[in-house]
Amino acid sequence: MRRFAEAEDLSGVVRDALGGACRIAGVRRLRGGSKKGVYRVRLAGAGTPSVIVYSWADEENFWPGATAGEGTDGTDPFAPASGLQPFLAAQRLLHELGARVPRLLLADGGRQRYAADVAVVEDVPGGTLEALLDTDPAAARKALADLARTLDLMQSSRAPRYGRVDVLERGGTALGSSCEQLVLDRALRDLGEAAGRDSRIAAARGRLDDRLRTLRALVAPRTEHGLIHGELGPDHVLVTECGEAVLIDIEGLMYFDVEWEHVFLRLRFQERYEALARPGLDPRRLDLYALAMRLSLVAGPLRLLDGDFPDREFMRGIAEHNLKEALALLP
């Protein structure tokens, strides 16, 4: 049985962040997180009605075989990114570039106040862009324009090497020889995993394998990479009351082919993607990455369901939808 944080567990770090006079009036664990716990903490006597606490405790990580807060060494850009250090490196870089992220109030990796790495950040009051797209299209258009500005800031930040920003920051090197080869290798692994879990993928495995290798052979080498979020769906964008787009779940921030980001944006924003589209993307990379992304979104959810992730029907739905879309990409 997993045990999640309660008010008494978080009171010490919240007081350290906001002062001894504040008092916790309530704690709610927000749904959806699979690698860290995200808690909205309501406050009294703090000058702000609430804050968000991130917890990288082992209990918060639902990925089978994973250990929260440490994950891998980060040399594989596609390994599930989790932990205080990747978060802080991403927070610093995005802030320096002028991209809006929740304001950091406290980061604690000492585990004196709480038995896991934690961060306390501002609670952005406007809700997610995902919700706003349904409830207030006019406000959503303003937020989409601001998100497009943020994407421009990120993608104009260039690096000769690809990899997660915390790895590059400490002088490390990412796995693989190129972004496109890394994507192919990962897609073939995802294909194998998915084929072992679903008979429809198994029946098409040979054709999918051939298609991936054909698309990879068409991609020309590249020597410079842009900054990408990696999972930039509308649920990972908060919107302030004045319409600013605020990026969250940033631990996977990395330098990579920006086409990878745009394949995901197109997938998640669908007809609204036009506001985020940018010229100059490589169509051959887009083709390879689109198929690889679909296979990842089959294998990943099925892998997560090997454990005790609670929202199981939601994950099954993601896998089923992307399975059909992957098969539709076959010639």
Q: What pLDDT does 115 receive?
A: 82
Q: What pLDDT does 2 receive?
A: 75
Q: Which two tokens stand for residue 106?
A: 């406290």
Summarised one tens digit per residue, pLDDT across range 243-294 is 999 999 999 999 999 999 999 999 999 999 999 999 999 999 999 999 999 9
- Taking each helix axis from N to C end, the angle separating 283-304 and 179-197, rounded to the nearest 10 degrees, works out to 40
H helices of 156-257, where? 165-169, 179-197, 199-203, 205-217
Does residue 111 come out as left (phi exceeding 0), alpha (psi in the -120 to 50 range) or beta?
Answer: left
Would you write out the chain's pLDDT as a tens digit for each of its 331 residues?
A: 677 888 888 999 999 999 988 999 999 999 766 789 999 999 998 889 999 999 998 888 776 554 433 345 679 998 878 899 999 999 999 999 999 999 999 999 988 888 889 999 999 988 999 999 999 999 999 999 999 999 999 999 999 999 999 999 999 999 999 999 999 999 999 999 999 999 999 999 999 999 999 999 999 999 999 999 999 999 999 999 999 999 999 999 999 999 999 999 999 999 999 999 999 999 999 999 999 999 999 999 998 888 777 778 988 999 999 999 999 999 9
Summarised one tens digit per residue, pLDDT across range 89-119 is 999 999 999 999 999 999 999 888 888 899 9
The CA distance from 147 to 272, in Å, is 12
Q: Report helix, strand or coil for 39.
A: strand
Among 84, 146, 148, 158, residue whose Cα is nearest residue 121: 84
Domains of the chain: 7-122 (3.30.200.20), 129-328 (3.90.1200.10)
**β-strand pairing of 225-228 with 163-164:** unpaired
Q: What pLDDT does 180 receive?
A: 98
Q: What pLDDT does 68 receive?
A: 39
CA torsion, points 159, 160, 163, 168, in degrees to nearest 10? -70
